[in-house]
Amino acid sequence: MLGNYSYHEIFRKTIVAFGTLFNNIELRRQDEVMKVPLAYGPKDKFLARLDQVPDPTNKRVQITLPRIGFEIAGVSYDPTRKVAPTQKIKMANTSTKNKSLFMPVPYNISFELAIISKNQDDGLQILEQILPVFQPHYNLSIKLVPSMGETKDVPIVLTNIDYEDSYEGDFATRRAIIYTLQFTAKTFLYGPVTESKIIKKANVDYYTSVDTAKAPREVRYQATPTSLQDRDGVVVTTLSSATDTNDNLIAVTSAAGINKFDSIYIDNELIRVQKISGNNLTVLRAYEGTAAAAHTNGSSVFLVNQADHDLVDADDDFGFGEMTSSFTDGKKKNFVSGNDEAI
């Protein structure tokens, strides 16, 4: 299991989304409006920069206050949000392949956000812009796995607020008022996305001998997915008269392109042809669970054939085409070549 590479950048996306919440905090002093700087990093780093003596040879300048800094404080598993680990999320990649991944694992990411200011009013202005948003949580919509269309609402929960004021000291020491806010982001982690082919045919062979290694198949049952609607848009004919929901005899303009046991599609109703007499069709209405409906004269008649079956995707509703065959040729299925071969 380990060693199967997977990286969806979920931690990175959660950090960026969290920081974006505080990216537009403003501070106003009379006619002056300034945007409060935001950076990722521990508050001790910014406090150390405050105490540095300016060096003319160093291009870095002393930081200004107020300022907001944040960092990850920890990651922990959240058993209260656990889901069934064996279930999968599936998505049709192409008409022949599926993409899937197992259900996500719930993890909490702890964040520590520090508001550092040199006077009380600046700190309170910033704090008052943040606290009303969290009651005590705020939901962020994050695309965790875009390739699977997985977007989750990640609650950001405010859990604690601490206050610190380094007012005491000599006149050379810069004062720093610090509000430390603790947050928890309830996110999810996903494993690797796997790709598998879609099963388009199922064969079951029956034997009368218990020696399946040498016994020939005698009966084969085959099931294939069939479309419940026309998908290629090809009109085969039109109705020559209107039909009611109970009519089992349908008149068409021409039955030349229709055969016995074909499926036709009229106005969202799938119909099975049981008999053909000239241009009159004896049919089975509401086939494969579709709803019987009245159809007007001139309605288009679509033929649901193999071309439509081939266009069925994994997430479409579909029926099953079933066929049973009997054999006396003494052959057996070779699963390597895919052919019936003599034993």
Contacts of 24 by beta carbon, 8 Å cutoff, 6+ apart: 35
Cβ atoms of 179 and 114 within 8 Å: the answer is: yes
CA angle 319, 250, 321 (to 5 degrees): 15
Beta bridge partners of 235: 302
**How many angstroms from the chain centroid is the CA of residue 303?**
34
- The stretch 316-324 carries a mean pLDDT of 75
Helix residue spans in the chain (DSSP H): 10-20, 43-50, 120-130, 306-309
**What is the per-residue pLDDT for 296?**
93
Label the pairing between strands 137-145 and 38-40.
unpaired
CA-nearest of 120, 83, 132, 95 to 231 is 95
Q: What is the pLDDT of residues 35-90, one digit of tens each?
A: 999 999 888 777 776 665 555 555 555 567 888 999 999 999 999 999 888 888 87
Handedness of CA 127, 130, 135, 140 (dihedral sign): negative
User: Residue type for 213, please?
Assistant: A
Task: Evaluate if residue 255 carries a pLDDT over 60.
Answer: yes
Per domain, the residue ranges of the chain are: 10-195, 219-326
**What is the per-residue pLDDT for 207?**
84
CA-nearest of 196, 191, 195 to 3 is 191
Handedness of CA 28, 34, 35, 38 (dihedral sign): negative
Q: pTM for the whole thing?
A: 0.61
Provide the 3-class DSSP secondary structure of residue 343: coil
Q: Which tops the pLDDT comparison, 174 or 304?
A: 304
Q: Which of 92-96, 119-123, 323-327 has the lowest mean pLDDT?
A: 92-96
Q: What is the 3-state secondary structure (H, E, C) of 58-110?
A: CCCCCCCCCEEEEEEEEEEECHHHCCCCCCEEEEECCCCEEEEEECCEEEEEE
What proportions of the chain, in percent to the nearest 5, are helix, strand and coil? 15, 45, 45
Range among 29-38, 190-199, 227-236, 323-332 rated most confident:
29-38
Categorize the per-residue pLDDT at 131 as very low, low, confident or very high, splitting at 50, 70 and 90.
Answer: very high
**What is the per-residue pLDDT for 110?**
97
Token pair 């403003």: residue: 26
% of the chain surpassing 70 pLDDT: 89
Q: What is the pLDDT of residues 154-199, one digit of tens each?
A: 999 999 999 988 666 555 556 788 999 999 999 999 999 888 777 7
Q: Which tops the pLDDT comparison, 63 or 296?
A: 296
For domain 219-326, the question of CATH label 2.40.33 is answered with yes
Task: Evaluate if residue 340 carries a pLDDT over 90.
Answer: no
For domain 10-195, the question of CATH label 3.30.2000.40 is answered with yes
Q: What is the mean pLDDT of the chain?
A: 86
Cis status, amide bond into 136, omega within 30 of 0 = yes
CA-nearest of 226, 223, 227, 228 to 201 is 223
What would the two tokens of residue 272 be? Answer: 């099975």
Categorize the per-residue pLDDT at 217 as very low, low, confident or very high, splitting at 50, 70 and 90.
Answer: confident
Cβ atoms of 288 and 319 within 8 Å: the answer is: yes
Q: Which tops the pLDDT comparison, 276 or 86?
A: 276
Task: Evaluate if residue 221 carries a pLDDT over 70.
Answer: yes
Q: Which of 64-68, 91-95, 219-223 has the lowest mean pLDDT?
A: 91-95
**What is the per-residue pLDDT for 75?**
96
CA-nearest of 37, 93, 88 to 65 is 37
CA-nearest of 126, 118, 124 to 64 is 118
